[in-house]
């Protein structure tokens, strides 16, 4: 395969709501470009980008898939990203290396929640963008209405470039206002289309839209604006340069009417991409930091610069092998090069280099600045790592992943599988960085967290298929806290044991008192007169630390108590550190139960973004979960509800929220504070703990 200079490369990512047609669009594009010789089917599981068994079985994309093709002497790297909300991290990864985001929207349904969520990511990173209004061949297609919603809810600078003149089931023609031609398409399989003059019936509308486009291009630059006022128009060179600049600075968001199923509007969109989308050279430099300092720098896409690349995806599949998928930000990569993983401080030697179309890989001699490809899996390099030449120790900013919205505990069905489970989940995290796994020593559970129930289910399936290990996902234990509300002056316990020979003797009297929330455990030595010898005081403190770590009511940590040792006694022969430690735990437990003990539960701040029509249902549901609504605010056509909700009520909340909002609600959560539990709920938790202990 030939090598392309950076200015002849375009990197685009398809984003949008699930079912908008991104995968089929990608398939038809590959077919039109001659990369594949037949158009695959999602129903048959034969598309290029959805090749994974889980994707084929479920008929949805689960991963960001890198594709490539050549169009009019330009290499276009296309990343097909998932639309299902469980896999928004894959969208983040794709956008991190793309230069243009293409939001695919269904013409009948219009702007959906997945459209909004992914578009927020585009706006956050100020990316150049375009919009494909797809499925214009749907009998319920509403192109103009959908376009109005795009301007209203996504960006008012959305501007039509190609629009349909016969939308619906007979859709086969678009008017391209750049070319000022009517383009009539044959079937998708034929790849044929005819450009002709715009018919009289549509000429006035096309000229009006062309004029609007020219004015928007002129408005994007003071120089062009002056020229426009002087001459009343812009020449072709000024239009081309002005339109490309306007796309880069986001003052124009081009919009196209297409049908993936019929192949309509694809060729003129690709022509536009080659002519007007920015190459990697024309984008603002990529943010990075020198590994030796926190000074931020920009890495220019320079063919002659120091070799620098960023790994945005890792693959480990039987038919693909172990691959690190990366974008070259500057310089060139060649097999056999020695590089430095600047993120981890490890040396790496590059193996074979490939470009990918789904599971199909083609070996290449080199990858140049701006290009996307893969290298045979590196030994110490992971997703999010930077590779650079050893003389240029720079770290490219990592992918901005969303926070987890669901968590579960992993329980092995068979003992002895712990190592396999650990290895398997680590591999899954490599391929899906939004899935995090850690062992929680407080809960004694392995906790897996991610973006949704489906994503966690895939981790379980992977453990079974690759490692032959079966696990269950259960609700994680809640990290409750125990404390007291009253003061106990004399919590006394005498540990005395005589069994022939030297005995055991320790006697302590503690004062327990509650402290303000967040203070922790405080130990005070108030012994006078040596009633407890100095050398046993550390044993008393150790006993307090032990009992507060494992709890009394539910085995949860004890917090915010001052324990004062103010009296006790000892035996010259039988007293030792163990005796005083045991006496202390006995005294503390006794005093704790007398001091009006309570359970505290973790409370989370939660913000729920939903269309206004679902606001009442969501607020009622939050109230039923002991949630306290703290505010609401409008965000376009959505309402953002803010509340404080106990963690124990949030298990699988993302799944539940989708069910009560027809998939249109999203939420974020973060820990807020600990709060006293209602008495009824507290008694239930304590009873369940006692029952579980009896069954052990």
pLDDT tens-digit series, residues 143-202: 999 999 999 989 999 999 999 999 999 999 999 999 999 999 999 899 999 999 999 999
Q: Where along the chain do the CATH 3.40.50.300 domains lie?
A: 7-282
pLDDT digits (tens, 9 = 90+) for 602-641: 999 999 988 889 999 999 999 999 999 999 998 877 899 9
Is residue 643 helix, strand or coil? Answer: strand
Tell me the mean pLDDT in the region 569-588: 95
CATH superfamily of 286-396: Translation factors (2.40.30.10)
- Does domain 7-282 fall under CATH 3.40.50.300? My reply is yes
Closest-CA residue to 158 (of 198, 102, 81): 102
Angle separating helix axes 537-550 and 577-594, nearest 10 degrees: 50
d(CA 585, CA 495) in angstroms, rounded, equals 10
What is the topology classification, in CATH, of domain 406-474? Alpha-Beta Plaits (3.30.70)
Find the radius of gyration of the CA atoms of the chain.
32
Q: Where along the chain do the CATH 3.30.70.240 domains lie?
A: 599-681
- What pLDDT score does 53 carry? 83
- Residue 354's CB is within 10 A of a number of other CB atoms, namely 20
- What pLDDT score does 228 carry? 77
Closest-CA residue to 203 (of 233, 182, 185, 184): 182
Tell me the mean pLDDT in the region 85-97: 91
Most confident of 269-273, 345-349, 425-429: 269-273
Tell me the mean pLDDT in the region 235-246: 89
Closest-CA residue to 324 (of 282, 284, 381): 381
Q: Where along the chain do the CATH 3.30.230.10 domains lie?
A: 481-595
Q: Which residue has the tokens 């316990």?
A: 493
In order, the DSSP letters of 205-241 are HHHHHHHHHHHHHHHT-HHHHHHHHHHSS--HHHHHH
Is residue 314 helix, strand or coil? Answer: strand
% pLDDT > 70, the chain: 99
Q: Which residues pair with 635 in a beta bridge?
A: 638
Instruction: Give yes or no for residue 1 having a pLDDT over 70.
Output: no
* Residue 127 C-alpha from the chain's centroid: 18
Q: Report the phi/psi class of residue 636: left, alpha or beta, with left for phi > 0 and alpha for psi in -120 to 50.
A: left
Q: 426 — phi, psi (to 5°)?
A: -65, -45
Model confidence, pTM: 0.86
d(CA 547, CA 563) in angstroms, rounded, equals 12
Query: 265 vs 177, 195, 654, CA distance in Å?
Result: 13, 12, 37
Q: Where along the chain do the CATH 2.40.30.10 domains lie?
A: 286-396
Q: Are 493 and 579 in contact (CB under 8 A)?
A: no
Q: Which residue has the tokens 């987890």?
A: 404
Q: Are 174 and 264 in contact (CB under 8 A)?
A: yes
Kindly give the residue spans of alpha helices, DSSP state H, lying in 125-178: 143-153
- Does domain 481-595 fall under CATH 3.40.50.300? My reply is no
- What pLDDT score does 91 carry? 94
Q: Which residue has the tokens 């009297």?
A: 509
- What pLDDT score does 318 carry? 67
In order, the DSSP letters of 41-87 are -TTTT--SS--SHHHHHHTS--S-EEEEEEETTEEEEEEE---SGGG
Strands 173-176 vs 158-164: parallel, antiparallel or unpaired? antiparallel
pLDDT digits (tens, 9 = 90+) for 26-57: 999 999 999 999 999 898 889 999 988 888 88
Is residue 590 helix, strand or coil? Answer: helix
Weakest-pLDDT range from 308-322, 399-413, 418-432, 677-691: 308-322
d(CA 479, CA 228) in angstroms, rounded, equals 66
Query: 464 vs 424, 430, 457, CA distance in Å?
Result: 9, 17, 11
Q: Which residues pair with 407 in a beta bridge?
A: 449
pLDDT digits (tens, 9 = 90+) for 97-149: 999 999 999 999 999 878 988 998 999 889 999 999 999 999 999 999 999 99
d(CA 28, CA 263) in angstroms, rounded, equals 7
- What pLDDT score does 292 carry? 72
Q: Which residue has the tokens 């319920």?
A: 140
- What pLDDT score does 533 carry? 95
Environment class of residue 478 by beta-carbon count within 10 Å: exposed (0-12), middle (13-18) or buried (19+)? middle
* Residue 423 C-alpha from the chain's centroid: 22
Strands 296-299 vs 286-290: parallel, antiparallel or unpaired? antiparallel
In CATH, which of 3.30.70.240, 1.10.10.10, 3.10.180.10, 1.10.3720.10 is domain 599-681?
A: 3.30.70.240
Residues, the chain: 696
Strands 65-71 vs 173-176: parallel, antiparallel or unpaired? unpaired
% pLDDT > 90, the chain: 70
- What pLDDT score does 319 carry? 65
Which residues fall within 8 angstroms of residue 228, CB to CB, at 6 or more apart? 214, 215, 218, 234
Tell me the mean pLDDT in the region 443-462: 90
d(CA 356, CA 49) in angstroms, rounded, equals 10
In order, the DSSP letters of 543-576 are HHHHHHHH-SSSSPEE-SEEEEEEEEE--TTT--
Instruction: Give yes or no for residue 433 having a pLDDT over 70.
Output: yes
d(CA 470, CA 656) in angstroms, rounded, equals 26
Query: 128 vs 119, 251, 262, 467, 563, CA distance in Å?
Result: 11, 9, 27, 42, 61
pLDDT digits (tens, 9 = 90+) for 260-297: 999 999 999 999 999 999 999 998 767 888 877 777 88
Instruction: Give yes or no for residue 485 having a pLDDT over 70.
Output: yes
* Residue 290 C-alpha from the chain's centroid: 26
Q: Are 328 and 371 in contact (CB under 8 A)?
A: yes
| Residue 694 pLDDT level (bands cut at 50, 70, 90) | confident
Tell me the mean pLDDT in the region 367-384: 92
Strands 100-106 vs 65-71: parallel, antiparallel or unpaired? unpaired
Q: Are 509 and 489 in contact (CB under 8 A)?
A: no
Tell me the mean pLDDT in the region 359-379: 92
The mean pLDDT value of the chain amounts to 92
- What pLDDT score does 535 carry? 95
Q: Are 546 and 557 in contact (CB under 8 A)?
A: no
- What pLDDT score does 637 carry? 74
Tell me the mean pLDDT in the region 642-667: 91
Tell me the mean pLDDT in the region 335-350: 93
- pLDDT: is 125 or 598 the higher one? 598
Closest-CA residue to 397 (of 78, 11, 92, 82): 92
Environment class of residue 154 by beta-carbon count within 10 Å: exposed (0-12), middle (13-18) or buried (19+)? buried
d(CA 82, CA 39) in angstroms, rounded, equals 20
Instruction: Give yes or no for residue 558 having a pLDDT over 70.
Output: yes
- Token pair, residue 520, equals 């922790």
Q: Which residue has the tokens 């063919």?
A: 303
- What pLDDT score does 219 carry? 87
Tell me the mean pLDDT in the region 665-690: 92
Closest-CA residue to 600 (of 670, 668, 685, 521): 685
- Token pair, residue 603, equals 């409370």
Write out the H or E segment, with its range, that includes residue 308: strand 308-317
Is residue 121 helix, strand or coil? Answer: helix
Q: Where along the chain do the CATH 3.30.70.870 domains lie?
A: 406-474
């Amino acid at each position: 395969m030939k090598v392309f200079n950076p200015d002849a490369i375009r990197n685009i990512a398809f984003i949008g709501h699930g079912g908008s047609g991104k995968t089929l669009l990608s398939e038809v594009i590959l077919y039109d470009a001659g990369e594949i010789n037949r158009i695959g089917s999602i129903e048959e599981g034969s598309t290029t980008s959805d090749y994974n068994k889980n994707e084929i079985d479920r008929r949805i994309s689960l991963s960001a898939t890198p594709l490539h093709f050549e169009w009019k002497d330009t290499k276009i790297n296309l990343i097909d990203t998932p639309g299902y909300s469980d896999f928004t991290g894959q969208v983040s990864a794709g956008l991190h290396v793309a230069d243009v985001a293409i939001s695919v929207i269904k013409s009948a349904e219009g702007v959906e929640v997945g459209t909004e969520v992914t578009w927020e990511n585009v706006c956050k990173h100020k990316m150049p963008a375009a919009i494909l209004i797809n499925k214009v061949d749907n009998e319920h297609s509403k192109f103009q209405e959908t376009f109005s919603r795009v301007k209203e809810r996504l960006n008012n600078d959305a501007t039509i470039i190609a629009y349909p003149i016969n939308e619906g089931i007979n859709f086969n023609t678009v008017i391209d206002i750049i070319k000022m031609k009517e383009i009539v398409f044959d079937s998708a399989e034929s790849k044929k289309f005819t450009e002709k003059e715009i018919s009289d019936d549509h000429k006035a509308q096309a000229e009006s839209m062309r004029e609007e486009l020219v004015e928007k291009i002129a408005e994007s630059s003071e120089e062009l604006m002056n020229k426009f006022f002087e001459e009343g128009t812009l020449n072709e060179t000024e239009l081309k340069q002005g339109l490309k600049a306007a796309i880069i600075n986001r003052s124009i968001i081009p919009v196209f009417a297409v049908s993936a199923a019929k192949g309509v509007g694809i060729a003129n969109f690709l022509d536009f991409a080659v002519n007007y989308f920015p190459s990697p050279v024309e984008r603002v430099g990529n943010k990075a930091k020198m590994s030796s300092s926190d000074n931020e720098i920009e890495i220019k896409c320079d063919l002659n610069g120091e070799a620098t690349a960023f790994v945005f995806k890792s693959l480990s599949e039987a038919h693909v092998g172990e691959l690190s998928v990366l974008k070259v930000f500057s310089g060139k990569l060649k097999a056999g090069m020695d590089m430095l993983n600047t993120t981890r401080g490890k040396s790496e030697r590059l193996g074979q280099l490939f470009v990918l179309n789904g599971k199909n890989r083609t070996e290449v001699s080199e990858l140049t600045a701006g290009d996307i490809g893969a290298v045979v899996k590196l030994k110490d390099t992971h997703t999010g790592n930077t590779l650079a030449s050893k003389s240029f120790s720079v770290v490219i900013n990592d992918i901005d992943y969303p926070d987890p919205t669901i968590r579960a505990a992993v329980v092995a069905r068979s003992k002895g599988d712990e190592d396999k489970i650990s290895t398997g989940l680590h591999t899954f995290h490599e391929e899906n960085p939004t899935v995090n796994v850690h062992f929680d020593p407080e809960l004694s559970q392995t906790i897996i967290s991610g973006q949704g129930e489906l994503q966690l289910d895939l981790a379980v399936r992977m453990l079974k298929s690759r490692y032959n290990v079966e696990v269950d996902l259960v609700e994680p234990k809640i990290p409750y806290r125990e404390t007291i509300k009253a003061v106990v002056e004399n919590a006394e316990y005498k540990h005395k044991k005589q069994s022939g020979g030297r005995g055991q003797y320790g006697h302590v009297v503690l004062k327990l008192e509650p402290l303000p929330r967040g203070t922790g455990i405080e130990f005070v030595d108030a012994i006078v007169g040596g009633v407890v010898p100095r050398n046993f005081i550390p044993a008393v403190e150790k006993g307090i630390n032990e009992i507060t770590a494992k709890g009394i009511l539910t085995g949860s940590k004890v917090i915010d108590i001052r324990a004062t040792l103010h009296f006790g006694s000892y035996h010259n022969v039988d007293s030792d550190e163990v005796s005083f430690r045991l006496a202390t735990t006995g005294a503390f437990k006794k005093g704790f139960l007398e001091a009006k003990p309570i359970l505290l539960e973790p409370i989370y701040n939660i913000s729920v973004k939903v269309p206004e029509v679902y606001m009442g249902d969501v607020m009622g549901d939050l109230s039923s979960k002991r949630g306290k609504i703290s505010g609401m605010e409008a965000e376009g056509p959505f309402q953002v509800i803010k509340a404080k909700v106990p963690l124990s009520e949030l298990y699988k909340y993302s799944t539940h929220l989708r069910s009560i909002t027809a998939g249109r609600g999203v939420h974020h959560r973060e820990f807020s504070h600990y709060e006293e539990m209602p008495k009824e709920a507290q008694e239930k938790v304590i009873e369940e703990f006692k029952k579980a202990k009896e069954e052990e």
